[in-house]
Structure 1
Amino acid sequence: MSSKFNLKIVIKNLFKSSTISNMITVGFASLLVSFFGFFKEILIADSFGLSELLDTFYVAMLLPGFVSGVFLRSFNSVFIPNYVSELKTGKNIGAFQSTSILITVGVALLFLIFAILFTDVYLEVFFENHTQSYYDLVKLQFYFVAPCIIFWGFSSLISGLLTIDNEFRLSSISSIFIALSIIVCLVFFKEQLGNLVLALGTLIGSILSFVFLAITAFKRGILFMNMPDFKSANIIILFRQLPAKVSSSLLSGINPIIDQYFSAQLIVGSIAALNYGIKIPAFAISIVGLSVGNVLLPYFSKKAVDNKELLFKEIKKILKYLIVVGLVIMVILVVVSQPIIWLIFERNAFTGDDTVIVSKIQQMYLLQIPSYIVGLIMVKFLTAINKNNFMVLASVMNLLLNITFNFILIDLMGVYGLALATSIVSIVNSLILYLYINKLNKQYV
């Protein structure tokens, strides 16, 4: 009776914690988004299998995705801790927001123009020895997905404001619009849209996601427009941290392009196989890692202003729990890898042979789950305390390791080696970040 009572107390205290409840909220929201994402992937697999159209779509998405990951998400990461500091100290949040919006729009437009002008060069250098029809198909889809960069930029900034305002549910669910849009386009307009069905679905979903977030932020009254102030103390700190964060993200963002480059040297369908193989690992990471990470970045940022010594103790406890959770998830998914691929993807254009290939790739990717999750949290932690410079060094090491392992393992294992190389790099990266955090911790003991 006593043990039951204690268990109830523990559960009750957990749900009383706003941080835990926010994690659960984001977890359920991520689960819902991932459900529609998987349904979208099932439809794509059913329609295209490991085809040239799907290969070219993923190639077309590389640059916009790269820009989003390198700058837009990097800016969002350094925006949150410094905006929190502005809220607690300067209170000139209108100027801070206006300045941040100008930076986001300017850089998004710059990258958009650059990407459009150098598409041909990029394709010839990284994806040589393909047919002209292959390149034409990439460029056709690219011109429709490239404008997504602008909408992703606005969405990222507004999403950051919402999480700081403790609105995790709607900000987390906003990405569902891309999956829903692609689903609608595939089900109802596939014949009419032809080769553009995936690209147009992505663009429409990106616009809807931005509109949804903007309306949510407006209703909560968290959008303020004042004259930009580039001399604000917290804006200056943001600018100082941004080059390191962007450099780190740039180096990390190159890794998927390198993997795509190596896979493009193999048979047609290898790029699509890698993308199918990463779906389940990405799902697990998004549910555990992102739901925790999205909540912990503003949480760490607020705690860092108050008590850094206590914050270091908390991060170590969090990492221990996440490693255990990650290992359990990894083992379960590795064991049931092939049945999962068979159940989700195998039908029509996606054959039994495709299932065998993708399930083996998936097993290689699954090995990174524990290290990727804890690595993600450690990056959030270091960003919150404005220690982005070290992550540049770590990213350089990761890039060199990824290239080295790709060269070695692609000869030994083919496309499976590329997935295994990614997991090995993730494990090494998490060890490097932990050793650095442990070194920083000694400064506060």
Structure 2
Amino acid sequence: MPINPWKVIKKYCNTNKTESDNNKIFSKIFLIALITLFVKCLAILKEMITAWQFGAGNELDAFFIALLIPSFAVSVIAGSFNSALIPVYIEVRNKQGLEAAKKLVSEVLCLAIGFLCFLIILILLSSHWYLPLLAQGFNFQKLQLTYALLCLIIPIIVFQGIITILGAVLNAGQKFALVALLPTVTSAVTIIFLFIFDSWGIYALGIGLVVGKAIELIVLSLVCHQRKFQLVPKWTGYNQNLRAVINQYTPMVAGAFVMSSTSVVDQSMAAMLPSGSVAMLNYGSRLVAFPLQLGSIAIGTAILPYFSSMVANTKWQEIKNIFNRSRNLILLVTIPVVFVLMFFSELLVSLLLDRGAFTQENVQVVAEIQAFYALQIPSYLLGILVVRLISAFKANQILMKGAIYNLFLNILFNYIFMEYMGVSGIALSTSCVYFISVCYSYLKIKQQTKIQI
């Protein structure tokens, strides 16, 4: 008798006591996953067009290094707003009312914009120091191109910071669809710029990125206004609610800073290897990033508001049931994906990238990188689940300590594996670090909360 996969999935998604909550959560996860699938398909199309136009040469190396620090700032500074704000926002909204919650968001916006503008100035002023360190194999002309691209794309830090905060407000109200769909704007705009302004070279890629993010911000602001969330930056003084956000944000951003340093370390160490290594490392991560981002956005976005609400209402058994079912479902889905990406790696890379300036030799190296990156998928997505539970319990200090350990392990493993495997060793190092990381975080939150998850 044939197996019905939907029944298997339902078995891992439902329990008798929490069936209603499970249905709500997993229906949201499924919706966000479908939207994110479309988003990532468009992103892959953009990568294919980029590979066709630029191959794995000097221009793209310069672009990726230029994007490294702004992406790092977006991931660390802006990305941490979401996990720090949502649990406090939900608690304030439930206990003090919607107006108090709106006031909190206005204060966070004011603080965030000021800080992100200061960060942009700091990044530009210190670029003469860190760019040569990140791009040690670059000649003078390539380094100058990197600096010019950095100046072009750096506004995305402020844009994405505001987008993250406004998106957190909509997510806290369980309005997930628009926030999940929004990144299609940047991909579509970038594709348009690459075709229409191809004579601009690599600058078309940078301008498309900035214009796309600006349009995303405008769209999200209009939607918030339409939903009566007329959120404007406004400082009314330091208060208890803002302190609660900052108390969670500080260890969260510190942990994210250290953890995101692994990406900076990986790419800067790849820059020490032969020309094109940075670009090939990025290409090798692209297809693996598809299930990673699909799963992490769907799981992380949908589950944090529910976990936060359950913690606020001390529903420990429901947390345990939903966590365990989510864990089992992640393993059920991701392990087959790992096998497919590993065994068909060269075929997939050839189909997606083997055209134009991209050579067969590039295909073989990128395929090997991709296979090693694929090993991280189960650990990475389980890590997202554990991290959201940690944030809901407002125990983000666990993440900070774990991230410090991860950074040291990443550097150590990079040196060991690069010695024998070249740029592919960096990918294997990343997968090892994520496995150790999820084990550490799981044991710490289990110990701290005493919930037998």
Could you tell me the TM-score, scaled by structure 1's length?
Answer: 0.94
Q: CA RMSD in A?
A: 2.3
- Match for residue 357 of structure 1? 365
- Match for residue 95 of structure 1? 103
Unaligned 5+ segments in structure 1 are: none
Larger mean Cα displacement after TM superposition, 389-398 or 305-314: 305-314
Counterpart amino acid of residue 68 in structure 2: L
- Match for residue 387 of structure 2? 379
2:54 to 42, 48, 55: 48
Q: Is the 8 A contact 1:278 1:365 kept in 2?
A: yes
Alignment of 1:269-308 (within 5 A): 269-308=276-315
2:177 to 149, 169, 178: 169
User: Structure 1 residues 440, 16: CA separation in 2 closer, same or farther (over 3 Å shift)?
Assistant: closer
**Deviations 1:99-119, CA, capped at 9 Å, x for gaps:** 111111011101100011111
Q: Is the 8 A contact 1:95 1:228 kept in 2?
A: no
Alignment of 1:14-163 (within 5 A): 17-91=23-97, 92-163=100-171
User: Structure 1 residues 36, 15: CA separation in 2 closer, same or farther (over 3 Å shift)?
Assistant: farther
Unaligned 5+ segments in structure 2 are: none
Counterpart amino acid of residue 64 in structure 1: P
d(CA) in 2 for partners of 1:45, 1:127: 21
**Deviations 1:77-111, CA, capped at 9 Å, x for gaps:** 10111111110112212320111111110111011
**Deviations 1:236-276, CA, capped at 9 Å, x for gaps:** 11111221011100001111110011100011100000100
1:250 to 251, 257, 260: 257
Counterpart amino acid of residue 39 in structure 2: V
d(CA) in 2 for partners of 1:56, 1:132: 11
Counterpart amino acid of residue 278 in structure 1: S
Q: Is the 8 A contact 1:96 1:228 kept in 2?
A: no
Deviation of the 1:407 alpha carbon: 0.9
Q: Is the 8 A contact 2:310 2:316 kept in 1?
A: no
d(CA) in 1 for partners of 2:311, 2:416: 42
Q: Is the 8 A contact 2:102 2:229 kept in 1?
A: no
Deviation of the 1:129 alpha carbon: 4.5
**Deviations 1:157-199, CA, capped at 9 Å, x for gaps:** 11111111221111111111111111001111111x2331111
d(CA) in 2 for partners of 1:336, 1:15: 38
Q: Is the 8 A contact 2:46 2:187 kept in 1?
A: yes
1:434 to 419, 424, 442: 442
Q: Is the 8 A contact 2:65 2:134 kept in 1?
A: no
1:233 to 240, 250, 268: 240
Deviation of the 1:390 alpha carbon: 1.2
Deviation of the 1:20 alpha carbon: 2.0
Identical positions, percent: 26
Deviation of the 1:312 alpha carbon: 3.3
d(CA) in 2 for partners of 1:364, 1:430: 18
d(CA) in 2 for partners of 1:197, 1:139: 16
User: Structure 1 residues 352, 219: CA separation in 2 closer, same or farther (over 3 Å shift)?
Assistant: same
Deviation of the 1:308 alpha carbon: 4.5
d(CA) in 1 for partners of 2:151, 2:226: 33
User: Structure 1 residues 18, 259: CA separation in 2 closer, same or farther (over 3 Å shift)?
Assistant: same
Deviation of the 1:225 alpha carbon: 4.8
Counterpart amino acid of residue 276 in structure 1: Y
Larger mean Cα displacement after TM superposition, 425-434 or 330-339: 330-339
Counterpart amino acid of residue 207 in structure 2: L
Partner secondary structure for residue 317 of structure 1 = helix
- Match for residue 266 of structure 1? 273
- Match for residue 185 of structure 1? 193
- Match for residue 319 of structure 1? 327
Counterpart amino acid of residue 77 in structure 2: F
d(CA) in 2 for partners of 1:188, 1:295: 37
d(CA) in 2 for partners of 1:182, 1:296: 31
User: Structure 1 residues 405, 81: CA separation in 2 closer, same or farther (over 3 Å shift)?
Assistant: same
Counterpart amino acid of residue 347 in structure 2: P
- Match for residue 394 of structure 1? 402
Q: Is the 8 A contact 1:85 1:234 kept in 2?
A: no
Q: Is the 8 A contact 1:116 1:143 kept in 2?
A: yes
d(CA) in 1 for partners of 2:231, 2:110: 13
d(CA) in 1 for partners of 2:238, 2:271: 46
d(CA) in 2 for partners of 1:218, 1:42: 36
Deviation of the 1:234 alpha carbon: 2.5
Q: Is the 8 A contact 2:116 2:161 kept in 1?
A: yes
Partner secondary structure for residue 96 of structure 2 = coil
Q: Is the 8 A contact 1:375 1:429 kept in 2?
A: yes
**Deviations 1:376-398, CA, capped at 9 Å, x for gaps:** 11111101110001111100110
d(CA) in 1 for partners of 2:134, 2:234: 43
Are 1:342 and 2:350 matched, yes or no? Answer: yes
Larger mean Cα displacement after TM superposition, 86-95 or 310-319: 310-319
Are 1:309 and 2:309 matched, yes or no? Answer: no
Could you tell me the TM-score, scaled by structure 2's length?
Answer: 0.93
**Deviations 1:115-136, CA, capped at 9 Å, x for gaps:** 1111111112232342111111
- Match for residue 224 of structure 2? 217
Q: Is the 8 A contact 1:56 1:134 kept in 2?
A: yes
d(CA) in 2 for partners of 1:195, 1:289: 30
d(CA) in 2 for partners of 1:318, 1:345: 34
Q: Is the 8 A contact 2:252 2:397 kept in 1?
A: yes
d(CA) in 2 for partners of 1:194, 1:177: 21
d(CA) in 2 for partners of 1:337, 1:267: 22
Q: Is the 8 A contact 2:303 2:388 kept in 1?
A: yes
